[in-house]
Amino acid sequence: MTLPPSVSLSEELAGYPILDIEHPAVIGRIALNGAHVMEWIPEGHDPVLYMSAEALLEPGKPIRGGIPICWPWFGPHPTDTSKPAHGFVRTMIWEVDAARETEKEVEIVLKLQDSAETKALWPHAFTARLHVRMGASLEVTLQTINTGDTASSMTGALHTYLNVEDVRKISIHGLHGTQYVEGRLSPDKRPQHGTVVIDQEVDRLYISDATIIVHDPKWGRELVIEKAGSLATVVWNPWIEKSKRLADLPDEAYPEFLCIEAANAGEDVVTIQPGHEHLLMQRIDVRKI
């Protein structure tokens, strides 16, 4: 695969290949481990994606930060707790399927296909591609194709970690009037009134296809997060106690990030017929305020 001038492949850090992107419009990094977008810095802005200083960059380990790809299940496996949380594709090595650039952006496509290893975890044939368009905005699309001869059902998410100046000072707009489940408290749906603020551990699944705006007055910016192919938005911050239980996250780091995830989860289960596909897309734009 010939890479465009702004893209190079390095391996020294983690024991798996990482794509380094240095383009006039953008700086970025994408690990082939999990097709994991690790970094996105649009020209003229500060880094938009959060990366834990204690992230484990080791083969077979998920990366704490950036955009983990959760698929073909979101959260714990529905029936077998011995299987990895958030599915298995985020800890497998994907291959570069395509790479090109224009004066405005870099486009990378990564691919993963079923194997004996995946079928031992999930008995379905598939081709997954992650389409990444990285420039002044970041658009990530998870394309999943059912290459088998029976229908397959799955859940998943683009589990995006966003940098914020102080999660206690931001406000999250776009979810007013929707319903959500705070899984750790109860399965009951609750109504969302007004903006969402983070003043405790928040692990919520909102029933929503809306665009979200994260207003960060301390940093002086808004993050505009659009999506498609998703009827569930997960909002997560581990807060104080859960942060202490996460070995790959500094205890004092919880104010520095917020997860806004384009998901197919909860009631939003995706069933794909043989030969058909599902597209799960999230697009992030940065606006100074």
Applying CB under 6 A, the residues found at the interface with ligand TA6 are 62, 68, 75, 85-86, 159, 203, 234, 236, 259, 261
Q: How far is CA 127 from CA 58, 90, 94, 123, 143, in A?
A: 24, 14, 11, 13, 8
- Which residues form the catalytic set? 159, 261
Smallest distance from ligand TA6 to CB 90, Å: 8
When the beta carbons of 107 and 201 are compared against ligand TA6, the nearer one is 201
What's the token pair of residue 229? Answer: 């192919």
When the beta carbons of 109 and 212 are compared against ligand TA6, the nearer one is 212
Tell me: cis bond preceding 72? Omega within 30 of 0 counts: yes
Smallest distance from ligand TA6 to CB 64, Å: 7
When the beta carbons of 54 and 107 are compared against ligand TA6, the nearer one is 54
Which amino acid is located at 263 in the chain?
A: A
When the beta carbons of 39 and 101 are compared against ligand TA6, the nearer one is 39
Given a contact cutoff of 8 angstroms between Cβ atoms, the answer to whether 128 and 46 are in contact is no
Q: Taking phi first (over 0 means left), then psi (-120 to 50 degrees means alpha), and beta for anything else, what does residue 35 get?
A: left
Closest chain position to ligand TA6 (CB): 236
Smallest distance from ligand TA6 to CB 209, Å: 18
Between CA 111 and CA 130 the distance in angstroms is 6
Helix (H) or strand (E) holding 241: helix 239-245
Smallest distance from ligand TA6 to CB 216, Å: 20
Between CA 243 and CA 282 the distance in angstroms is 26
